[in-house]
Amino acid sequence: MSGHPDYSAKESFSSFLLEWWEKNKRDFPWRRTSDPYAVLIAELLLRKTTAKQVERVYIAFLARYPNSESLSRASEAEIEELLKPLGMEHRRAKLLVELGKALLKKHKGSVPDNMEDLLQLPGVGAYAANAVLCFAYGKNTVIVDTNAVRVFQRVFGFRSKKQRPRDDPALWEFAKSIAPSDRVREFNFAIIDFAYSICTAKKPRCHLCPMKSFCDYVKKGTNEACMNAEEL
């Protein structure tokens, strides 16, 4: 990692972000459950698609396959039909059936509560594993995806040397240091919603950003919307 992130803004960032989120949070069915199986299914369905697309499919999926046992006995063809609106239905269906079988065979149908075992499951990577640990098991685990990386890079001026910054241990460590220990779950949701609503990949809404007073992206005038924030 190169560059010199403004660490002095860490506390302000967390408090401003959570204050913003309390007024702008999005609501989805997978955010209203702490069931490990339901959380894991949501994370796998959300991959490379939007939350809005997933919502209806997710509800129907859990109604048909409410647990690992029912998923392990599922027909790939049936799952493919159900997942068509999300795309990549062939690959998703295969992985989900394999997941159900692995959970049943290796963990008696339960979703593991530790990183090592979670990463051994079909289709489960670091992001999904951390999401399960945080959202289902209440562990103080941050989750860092491409969207979170974008927020940290812009606000704090991070410049990762990794080809895939989301795999940069230094960035994960920074995320851990910035997340308030008593509100990690909310912090993770807040980063997701903030990246979706304000710190978007294209045409970020800098004039609405609660962090614009100390954001590195705004300070450098990287974006015309930022430079003319007062006029918008």
Q: What is the mean pLDDT of the chain?
A: 91
pLDDT in tens, 86-99: 999 999 999 999 99
Predicted local distance difference test score (pLDDT) of residue 210: 95
Q: In 10 A of CB 91, how many CB atoms?
A: 12
17-53: pLDDT as tens digits:
999 999 999 999 999 999 999 999 999 999 989 999 9
Domains within the chain, CATH numbers bracketed: 7-26+142-231 (1.10.1670.10), 35-135 (1.10.340.30)
For residue range 114-145, list pLDDT tens digits in order: 999 999 999 999 999 999 999 999 999 999 99
What average pLDDT does the segment 153-158 reach? Answer: 90
